[in-house]
Amino acid sequence: MIELRPFASLGAANHGWLDAHHHFSFAGYHDPARTQWGSLRVWNDDLIAAKSGFPPHPHQDMEIVTYIRTGAISHRDSLGNEGRTAAGDVQVMSAGTGIQHAEYNLEDEATTLFQIWILPDARGHAPSWGTRPFPREDRSGQFVTLASGLPGDDEALAIHARARVAGALIRAGETVRYETGPERHVYLVPATGRIRIGEIEAQARDGVAITGESAIEITALEDSEVVLVDAA
């Protein structure tokens, strides 16, 4: 099963400093047909205005992955962690037994990002945070695992979930294959460009929900930056 979820069909909320689009039910947006996809609970497409951001607020028992598309985000949390994550890179936060954090765009330009929440494999993990660079050139023509709780993904940022977050840069005309399993739930979004999966064509920021497939072949119709979650 491959289902296109056009960007125009997503939930949306514009708070001035934050222009958010929701692939799944979130805050004031509720669609009973789009509550989660396997253990993937949230995929928000956010634009955060310059010199603004999320003030301190708590989370618990959630794996939160932030993929920076443009600009940068600066993090601070109740564990004493601080850091800046720039475009193309990723940060992860395991909320576990509880953590309070703030995320600010301290840049002179808007920051755009994907905020991805994945249900953990168990409740009560110790909270943690981490970030690391992922050079875009390493993703040229192939998927690179960015965050994962699956065996063998030792080079990725660790999360407490039976899930993987991966990214690829695909040039126009190229096809990239991603191996999964028919019992898995894959959700894929082209951050930029235009792609085709089977008979489905997706534009930038559309969502594609996939299950029941052993492998996925993604053909770029334009140069494309693709992010996916492969979840239990």
pLDDT of residue 6: 98
pTM of this prediction exceeds 0.95: yes
What does the pLDDT read at residue 113? 98
In 3D space, the residue among 34, 76, 37 whose CA is nearest the CA of residue 53 turns out to be 76
Which pLDDT band holds residue 222 (cuts at 50, 70, 90)?
very high
Tens digits of residue pLDDT in 130-159: 999 999 999 999 999 999 999 999 999 999
pLDDT in tens, 18-75: 999 999 999 999 999 999 999 999 999 999 999 999 999 999 999 999 999 999 999 9
The mean pLDDT of 111-133, rounded to a whole number, is 97
Give backbone dihedrals phi and psi of 169, rounded to 5 degrees, phi first.
Answer: -110, 120
Domain that holds residue 37: 2-231
Structural element, H or E, at residue 211: strand 207-211
Q: What's residue 96's pLDDT?
A: 98
Q: How confident is the model at residue 91 (pLDDT cuts 50, 70, 90)?
A: very high
With the CA atoms of 51, 228, 145 and 225 taken in that order, what torsion angle do they form, in degrees rounded to the nearest 10? -70
> What is the 3-state secondary structure of 184-209?
CEEEEEEEECEEEECCEEEECCCEEE
- Burial string for 133-144 (b: 16+ CB within 10 Å, else e) reads ebeeeebeeebb
Residue 130: partners with Cβ closer than 8 Å, 6 or more residues away: 91, 92, 157, 158
What Å distances lie between residue 232 and 36, 78, 153, 229, CA to CA? 11, 30, 15, 10
If phi over 0 gives left and psi between -120 and 50 gives alpha, with beta otherwise, what is residue 4? beta
Number of domains in the chain: 1
Q: Residues 136, 182, 66, 154: is their CA dihedral positive or negative? A: negative
**What's the CATH code of the domain at 95?**
2.60.120.10
Q: What's residue 230's pLDDT?
A: 98
Measured distance CA(4)–CA(163) in Å, rounded? 21
Dist CA 177 CA 56 (whole Å): 40
Alpha-carbon distance of 152 to 11, in angstroms, equals 35
pLDDT averaged over every residue in the chain: 98
* pLDDT at residue number 130: 97
